[in-house]
Structures are given as structure tokens and as C-alpha cells.
Amino acid sequence: MSESVSESMKRTWKDECGVVGVWNNEHASRLSYLSLYAIQHRGQESAGIVTVDASGEHRVQKGLGLVQEVFDDVSLDRLSGRAAIGHVRYSTTGVNQMANAQPMQANLFNGPVAVAHNGNIVNANEIKKRLKEDGAIFHATSDTEVILHLIARHHSSNLVDCLQAGLEELDGAYSLTVLSHQSLIAARDPYGFRPLVLGTLKNGDGEKSWIVASETCAFDLIGAQFVREIEPGEIWWVDASGEHSIKMKKKRERASCIFEHVYFARPDSIVFGQSVYGVRKEAGRQLAEQDEKEGFLKDVDLVIPVPDSGVPSALGYSVQSGKPFELGIIRNHYIGRTFIQPHQALWRED
């Protein structure tokens, strides 16, 4: 599996995303919007929300850009209903950005199903090939469509059965939220490669609303309570009869993506059961400890972080080593959003 994981790691950089889900709240679309907004750092290419309206139909709004560019009050009103899932997608190159925007939504024999996915299916291409030979058509290049096809091809009236049967075929990383006309589902691969957390919120009627998100910082923004992680290999769902959970047959030993703690996640999130800020600081502390052992500290004058994700580690290093912490690199918070680079401006006619 090491090969797959490393493969998975390679693709990580272009497939980082964030997912959310909301159940039993009159403000489902707005809570999804705010949750996506809190995890905007996980993806800026596209954003999308799907809700189930009063008639059991799905309502979809997807677009390229930041959540505040894709949605406004009018579209959030149109996204009526008490259940929703949402997705933010990491910026990638390629012309098919819109076709790959999530959540991906389709009408199946047992009704509409929408899937929001964060991860990489290592054996996606083999499965795609098999499905195509069996007459499946693919509109996009993302792995998410594979999951929809697998659900569609298992003939049970029980969506969770269909989903589980499909997921058992997958190898790799996935943290999913799935929405039908009857239930909200959250599922996580047996490695627990990507984060996925469960929370609750008291809704307007005093009842309990359920919130699922990639990171706990989404709960903080909307005032939801963090309950627990969705377990590796767990399929959790909530429907009219309450919440339920099963474990997938396939077992793997935990292999969480270290880049979540190092880079992707927000420092104020709890990821894989630990504070991201704490983990980063401890990493810096340990590095200082090691440098001390190896006699490198004498050459250290200052500890300068690369902002913003490097700040806690540099802080930990500074505390442990006693070397002064200074901000030597200033981040322009607009950087990366300019369409010309300095050298272009100067070299353009050369």
C-alpha cells in the first residue's frame, strides 16, 4: 500500500478540498455557506452547495471562485430546505474546472444523490475503465463521479448499503458527505487519511441540528459543538429516525496525511484529535531539541518563520532553543492573486 499512499500523496497537492454537511436546520444553505467560508483555505477554485427542498428535489448552486463570489442572498434563499452538503475545491489548472466543481449531483433509480468528496481514490482509473466497458459515461475527470456510479450500480433501496458496497471497492483516501432526499451521510476511508468531524447545533425550533465538516473551525464560526471525529472506516448517517453508524468491512491501519497538520488545516482546528497549532509548535520544539543534540544551535542567531503556517513551529523552536523569534518575512495577503509577476513586468519586451 505504500506505493498507493505515496501516489496518493503526490496527487494530494492538486486534490485538496473541503466538505460540509447540515441536517435539520431551516438555515441549511446559510450554515453550509458559513462552514465553507470557514474552510475556504482548503479550496479556492470552486464552491458548491446542494440542498433538498420541501418536495424532495435537489437544488444546486456551483461556481468558480470563492464562496462569497459564488453565493449571494438570492442564491442562498433559492437553496431552500433543511438539509445540505457543500464543497470547496482547491485551485488546479485545466479547462474542466466547472465540470469538476462539487458537490456532484445525479438522479439515480432511487432518487437524487449528491456527493462532496475530499481525497484521492488510488484505484479510480481501474474502476472507471471497468465501468465504461459496462456502459457508464463520465462527464468529468474527478474521482467523485466514480463514487456516484458505484452507488448507482448496487441495487438496494437502501442508499447506505449502496454506498458501503461502493466504498468497499475503493482504495485510497476519501472523506465524504452524501445527501439524498432522505438522509445525510458522512463517510471516511479506513486509513482516516483526510479529516472529517461531527458537530451539533441547537436549531431555531430548539431541536438538534447535525453539522459535518472537514475541520472544527467551521463549528466555531457557526457556534456548533464539536462532538467527535468520524472514525476511519466509519459510515455515519442521520435520517428521520435519528443518527446511525456502521463500520466498513475493509480494515486498514491509520495513515493520516501529515500535510493536514503541517500545512492544509487552519491552526485553530482540531484535526485527527489534536490541535493543529499545538502539533506545529511541538514539531518546532522537537526540531530545536534535535538541533541542540547535534550541536547546530550555536549557529542559530534568529528563528524566522515562513508565514503563516510556519509561525507556530518557529515559535516552538524559539521557546525550546531560547533563540529570538523574529518576523523576517512579511506576507502580502493579496499575493498569489496578481495575474502578472514582477519579473514579467520588467522582462516583458525582452
**How many amino acids of this chain bind its own copies (CB under 8 A)?**
75
Does the protein bind its own copies through residue 47 (CB under 8 A)? no
For its own copies, give the closer residue by CB, 133 or 294.
133
Contacting its own copies (CB under 8 A), which of 10, 14, 132, 247?
Answer: 132
Residue span binding its own copies (CB under 8 A) among the ranges 31-39, 116-124, 230-238, 292-300: 31-39
Grouping H, G, I as helix, E, B as strand and the rest as coil, residue 113 is strand
Write down the least CB distance from residue 234 to its own copies, Å. Answer: 25
Q: What is the DSSP letter of 340?
A: S
Which grid cell is 27? 438555515
Smaller CB separation from its own copies, 71 or 236: 71
State yes or no: residue 312 binds its own copies (CB under 8 A): yes
Q: What distance in Å separates the CA atoms of residue 187 and residue 165, rounded to the nearest whole number?
A: 12
Residues 269-288 that bind its own copies (CB under 8 A): 277
- Stretch touching its own copies by CB under 8 A, among 73-81, 174-182, 191-199, 285-293: 73-81
* 58 vs 233, beta carbon nearer its own copies: 58
Q: Which of 23, 33, 219, 317 binds its own copies (CB under 8 A)?
A: 33
User: Are 235 and 48 contacting, i.e. CB atoms less than 8 angstroms apart?
Assistant: no
Nearer to its own copies, 168 or 254 (CB): 168
C-alpha distance across the termini of the chain, in Å? 49
Under rule CB under 8 A, residue 99 binds its own copies: yes
Looking at 64, 66, 165, 287, which residue binds its own copies (CB under 8 A)?
66
Give which of 164, 220, 232 is closest to 195, Cα–Cα.
Answer: 232
**Cα distances (Å, whole numbers) of residue 13 to 43, 242, 261:** 11, 37, 14
Selected binder of its own copies within 9, 123, 138, 287 (CB under 8 A): 138
Q: Which residues contact 33 (CB under 8 A, 6 or more apart)?
A: 49, 67, 71, 76, 86
Q: Which triple of cell numbers denotes residue 268?
A: 485553530
* Site membership for its own copies, residue 226 (CB under 8 A): no
- Asked if 109 is part of the footprint of its own copies (rule: CB under 8 A), the reply reads yes
DSSP annotation string for 238-284 = EETTEEEEEE-S--------HHIIIIIS-TTSEETTEEHHHHHHHHH
| Spatial CA neighbour of 150 closest among 117, 182, 198 | 117
Give the long-range contacts of residues 265-270, CB within 8 A, separation 24 or more: 265/195, 265/215, 266/38, 266/39, 266/41, 266/215, 266/217, 267/309, 267/312, 268/217, 268/220, 269/195, 269/215, 269/216, 269/217, 270/197, 270/215, 270/216, 270/226
Considering only 159, 211, 238, 315, the residue that binds its own copies (CB under 8 A) is: 315
Contact between 325 and its own copies by CB under 8 A: the answer reads yes
Indicate if 217 belongs to the active site. Answer: no
Q: Which of 91, 107, 156, 274 binds its own copies (CB under 8 A)?
A: 107
207 binds its own copies (CB under 8 A): no
Shortest distance, position 179 Cβ to its own copies, whole Å: 15
Taking the complex as a whole, the smallest distance from the CB of residue 21 to its own copies amounts, in Å, to 16
Does 206 bind its own copies (CB under 8 A)? Our answer is no
Check residue 41 for interaction with its own copies (CB under 8 A): yes
Matching residue, cell 435539520: 24
Q: Which residue, 5 or 60, is less far from its own copies as judged by CB?
A: 60
Answer for which of 9, 221, 283, 300 binds its own copies (CB under 8 A) is 221
Helix pair 144-152, 124-133: axis angle to 10 deg: 50
Q: Is 173 in the site for its own copies (CB under 8 A)?
A: no
Task: Please give the positions annotated as active site.
Answer: 17
